[in-house]
Structure 1
Amino acid sequence: MENLSGTKVPILTKEDLESLEEMCGTTSGYFYKMLDYLDERVRDGVRRGLFTQEQAEEDLELALWYAYACNNLDEYRFYYRAAQWMPASRPQAESARSGVWYYRYACALMYCGRLEEARETAEAGVALDPEYPWGWLEVGKLRAHFQDQAGALDAVRRGLALVPGDYEFTTLRREIEEGRTLEEMEFHWIDPDCDSRLQSGETDAAEISDKRLSVSGICCDRSNLAALKEALHLTGWEADAPYCTCTIPYQGRTLTGRFFLNEAACSKLPLVWVQELVWRLPELDRRGRTFLAAQAGLSTDGLEFQWFAVQPDRVLRLCYQRESSQQIVYFEPDFSLREEAGQPALERPDGGTFLAFVLLEEPVWDVDQFRQDLRDEWGIPCLTEVQKNDADGSSTLVFEVGGLMAAVSLYPFPVPRGEAEENAARNYLWPEAEETVKRHRGQILVSVLSRDQDPRDAGSLQVQLVRTACKQAGVLGIYANGTVYQPEFYHEAADAMSEELPLLNLVWLGLYRREGGLCGYTDGLQSFGKDEIEVLDTDAAPGALRSFLFDLAGYVVTEDVILHDGETLGFTEDQRLPITRSTGVWHDGMTLKISYPADTPNLFA
């Protein structure tokens, strides 16, 4: 593989392969961690110009690891990811006569319900590499599914010649002879002891349910699917993209529905349940509105039932929309209202925890200097010993300050998954943020827990600790509150409010533009136990909108107020700004939407 300058560079280095091997186990492995590692490796390599995204996707070795991780996670969404990733590397797989590649791709296709493609791929694999035994295992199952019992048994014979007495092959031979379905043949685990417990029902009920859900996406029950579609009175249907989306008539208009399943798994939904869903929708709509008004204390004026979603476990979500305001209500599979703990409209931020990452050009720090700077500048003693973790190379100081718990840790590696770089791009005050942050190779995590103390005190301590950490060599930026602060800005913002709470260091005032106009949001209020605030679709100047957000955040934090849906807010005697609490537009979860007044002064001009 050549990089952008023409130099040969492997996608996965020797060190990468060693790390990936360590994540493998005999009967299980750290497959989520493995997939995250691979995703981060690709992002980092593309970001640093070592290779392109296209080159990464074409790489055979990376594809083999990617499919291995996805397939072992044994969930439809990961099989789908593998099936999307693999085709670009097929030329390399064919050239290398890699039976492993064809086997893993065929597995992914099969669990996506693409059985004809799976069989073609599996057959191509054993033709290219007949010495790879597990290719014959896949071929045997698929031949049996397509009514070629003799061919299926021949595939088993070929496999057993390569791995005599193997449990999977002997089990498959028996099930082919018994006429089992493909999904029954797949309802197994590789390890004989684990599989024995699965077949006898001794395995944890949740694991059995997950396995049944996984195999349900293989074969489509066309007859039941047709009946389900008829029950829904469809006006539109899109399958396997990656999930199934439909439109249905509802009270004189069209309603959108989404099933978080592929078409094969959808076809296993009980017809009577889908019929009841359609029949109950008006009732569920009314109950959802009643819940929002009576239990969540939210205004339902102007709310329209916009869409519903069915999760794999048949938990139901109803979404209500009013302009840019959205509310979600959950119902259980038996159509009862989900308990309060699982309803987003009732969730409130806990607050009390403050986090920041000081990004370092080199993954080292001087602990003694940190202690001395902390004492000299803030009068805070730190007498605890450094705690070292040999597994990840981190080193941590944990200490108390006035009843607050603080921890300062060096992690000698970048923030994973390109998260810091992505968030740095949101800092409209620092155009070079993203490029600067790409150079970071280590991080100092600063965290403060308020316990039962005032979170404002915890926030003030957090800023002091971060400023102390910024005295270390090679500080590039401070990743906090959904962005990366320029070190100079961070210090200046804190100095400007030396007698008050350093709000600009603790709450980011974000801006972005969409079709309706300039929008703004806070990021950091949740640490104070408050809902984040959004101001949407304004014609404001950026500085004026930022000033407005600053006033709102300052009022909420310094006055320690909780704003509620349906209330109004004003900074003058005549001002009445309506407040709506609903599902976030920028943020996940619930946020406060506050209207923007036209006469806001620009404090940041």
Structure 2
Amino acid sequence: MGSFHNYTTIMGLFSFFRSKNKKVETQTIEQENKEKVLLAMPIFINGGSLKLDKVVENLKSFWGLNVSNIEGDNETAAFEIDGVTIALGNMPIPIPKEELDEVIPYAYVWRDAAKELEKHTGHAIVSILGGKKTQIERFTILSKLLCSILITSENCIAIYQGNETLLLHKDHYLAAVDDLKMNRIPISAWIYIGLRSTASGIDAYSYGLFNFGKPEIEIIDSGLDANRLYTMILSIASHIIDKDITFRNEDIYSLSGGVKLKVNISKGIYVDGISLKFTI
């Protein structure tokens, strides 16, 4: 799965934030609860970069968010959104090719990813630090922030979230706006859905439920087509996160239309640790 680069740069971004905001204790990233740090990278073409004033204005006017304690400039900035700490950093260099080469094969919903990203010129690092909000609230803030960057940056072409192996084209990510406006979970912007061809058909799995303290989902040897599997896992994952559901072995889960799935908890096939295997 994908991993974020430029560790020194990210450390510098956190150091900048802490030096500007007295509410945050001075400590190293190793002392942070890493589960509380959310990271994403908007990707730019044609020399584009995020503009702090435009992003902040969109957060206020489009999303109605309370943005405060703004420090920094277009290069490096820090602020709070409804009490959640944010750090931004523009990077006028491409994401390392070897990192994108690792994740592009997983971006099957963006068929031209390799070609369109070949000449990207820069990226930004977006960090959501710890706060008292729930994980759903923090991911919602992250998504609204990323949408604001996409809306206000003409040359922002994609969002990369390496921790979840998500590489989404601008248009795909902005599809989350409607869900966010309606207070629904934009699950495809939070959870990666993997599809694997096998001798007997297609298997599917999730990657990202770990962010919410839940096992990943796998559907194996179902006989269903890719579209049905994709939709099914999105629906189940959204329900798990939204309702904070915890399954037990051999539970029965009912889908719309009267379809019932049996849950088996066992070692993951496509994911580390245990997974929730749903069978019809």
TM-score with structure 1 setting the length: 0.37
Query: What secondary structure does 1:384 align onto?
Result: strand
| Equivalent residue in structure 2 for 1:517, among 201, 204, 207 | 201
- Given that 1:508 and 1:523 are in contact with CA atoms closer than 8 Å, whether structure 2 keeps it comes out as yes
| CA shift in 2, pair 1:536/1:449, >3 Å | farther
| CA shift in 2, pair 1:458/1:402, >3 Å | same
| CA shift in 2, pair 1:550/1:439, >3 Å | same
- Given that 2:179 and 2:185 are in contact with CA atoms closer than 8 Å, whether structure 1 keeps it comes out as no
Asked if 1:369 is matched to 2:59, the reply is no
Aligned partner of 1:190 in structure 2 is none
Aligned partner of 1:10 in structure 2 is none
Q: CA deviation at 1:440?
A: 1.7
Query: What secondary structure does 1:476 align onto?
Result: strand
- Given that 2:55 and 2:149 are in contact with CA atoms closer than 8 Å, whether structure 1 keeps it comes out as yes
Q: Which amino acid aligns with 1:519?
A: D
Alignment of 1:583-602 (within 5 A): 584-587=268-271, 589-597=272-280
| Equivalent residue in structure 1 for 2:131, among 435, 451, 457 | 451
- For residues 209 and 160 of structure 2, the distance between their equivalents in structure 1, rounded to whole angstroms, comes to 16
Alignment of 1:57-76 (within 5 A): none
Asked if 1:549 is matched to 2:226, the reply is no
Identity value in percent? 21
Q: What CA deviation, in whole Å up to 9, does each residue of 1:100-134 have, x standing for no partner?
A: xxxxxxxxxxxxxxxxxxxxxxxxxxxxxxxxxxx
Q: CA deviation at 1:590?
A: 1.3
Query: What secondary structure does 2:49 align onto?
Result: coil
Asked which structure has the greater RCO (Cα within 8 Å, sep 6+), the reply is 2
Q: Which amino acid aligns with 2:71?
A: E
Q: What CA deviation, in whole Å up to 9, does each residue of 1:431-481 have, x standing for no partner?
A: 112211222221122222353321110111111000111121311211123
Aligned partner of 1:537 in structure 2 is 221
- Given that 2:44 and 2:157 are in contact with CA atoms closer than 8 Å, whether structure 1 keeps it comes out as yes
- For residues 397 and 585 of structure 1, the distance between their equivalents in structure 2, rounded to whole angstroms, comes to 41
Query: What secondary structure does 1:556 align onto?
Result: helix
Q: CA deviation at 1:482?
A: 0.9
- For residues 539 and 350 of structure 1, the distance between their equivalents in structure 2, rounded to whole angstroms, comes to 38
- For residues 542 and 469 of structure 1, the distance between their equivalents in structure 2, rounded to whole angstroms, comes to 31
Aligned partner of 1:469 in structure 2 is 149
Structure ID, larger Rg: 1
Aligned partner of 2:103 in structure 1 is 423
Aligned partner of 1:193 in structure 2 is none
Q: CA deviation at 1:567?
A: 3.8
Aligned partner of 1:493 in structure 2 is 176
| Equivalent residue in structure 1 for 2:212, among 528, 531, 535 | 528
| CA shift in 2, pair 1:591/1:473, >3 Å | farther
- Given that 1:530 and 1:562 are in contact with CA atoms closer than 8 Å, whether structure 2 keeps it comes out as yes
- For residues 507 and 571 of structure 1, the distance between their equivalents in structure 2, rounded to whole angstroms, comes to 21
Asked if 1:578 is matched to 2:263, the reply is yes
Q: CA deviation at 1:387?
A: 6.9
Task: Give the aligned length.
Answer: 241
- Given that 1:406 and 1:449 are in contact with CA atoms closer than 8 Å, whether structure 2 keeps it comes out as yes
| CA shift in 2, pair 1:359/1:439, >3 Å | same
- Given that 1:534 and 1:593 are in contact with CA atoms closer than 8 Å, whether structure 2 keeps it comes out as yes
| Equivalent residue in structure 2 for 1:397, among 77, 82, 85 | 77
Alignment of 1:24-35 (within 5 A): none
- For residues 111 and 259 of structure 2, the distance between their equivalents in structure 1, rounded to whole angstroms, comes to 39
Query: What secondary structure does 1:428 align onto?
Result: coil
Aligned partner of 2:40 in structure 1 is 356
Alignment of 1:311-330 (within 5 A): none
Query: What secondary structure does 1:410 align onto?
Result: strand
Query: What secondary structure does 2:54 align onto?
Result: helix
| CA shift in 2, pair 1:491/1:545, >3 Å | same
- For residues 364 and 574 of structure 1, the distance between their equivalents in structure 2, rounded to whole angstroms, comes to 47
- Given that 2:85 and 2:130 are in contact with CA atoms closer than 8 Å, whether structure 1 keeps it comes out as yes
Alignment of 1:124-523 (within 5 A): 351-361=35-45, 362=47, 364-380=49-65, 381-386=67-72, 395-470=75-150, 471-480=152-161, 481-496=164-179, 498-499=181-182, 500-523=184-207
| CA shift in 2, pair 1:504/1:576, >3 Å | closer
- Given that 2:187 and 2:238 are in contact with CA atoms closer than 8 Å, whether structure 1 keeps it comes out as yes
CA RMSD, Structure 1 to Structure 2 (Å): 2.7
Q: CA deviation at 1:429?
A: 2.1
Aligned partner of 2:23 in structure 1 is none
Query: What secondary structure does 2:219 align onto?
Result: strand
More helix by share: 1
- Given that 1:513 and 1:519 are in contact with CA atoms closer than 8 Å, whether structure 2 keeps it comes out as yes
| CA shift in 2, pair 1:450/1:537, >3 Å | farther
- For residues 351 and 555 of structure 1, the distance between their equivalents in structure 2, rounded to whole angstroms, comes to 21
Query: What secondary structure does 2:94 align onto?
Result: coil
- For residues 542 and 506 of structure 1, the distance between their equivalents in structure 2, rounded to whole angstroms, comes to 19
- For residues 364 and 551 of structure 1, the distance between their equivalents in structure 2, rounded to whole angstroms, comes to 35
- For residues 378 and 540 of structure 1, the distance between their equivalents in structure 2, rounded to whole angstroms, comes to 38
Q: What CA deviation, in whole Å up to 9, does each residue of 1:535-580 have, x standing for no partner?
A: 223321111101210121012101112334x242311688351322
TM-score with structure 2 setting the length: 0.76
- For residues 259 and 187 of structure 2, the distance between their equivalents in structure 1, rounded to whole angstroms, comes to 27
- Given that 2:252 and 2:263 are in contact with CA atoms closer than 8 Å, whether structure 1 keeps it comes out as yes
Q: Which amino acid aligns with 1:475?
A: C
- For residues 538 and 431 of structure 1, the distance between their equivalents in structure 2, rounded to whole angstroms, comes to 25
Q: CA deviation at 1:412?
A: 2.0
Query: Gaps (5+ residues) in structure 2?
Result: 6-32
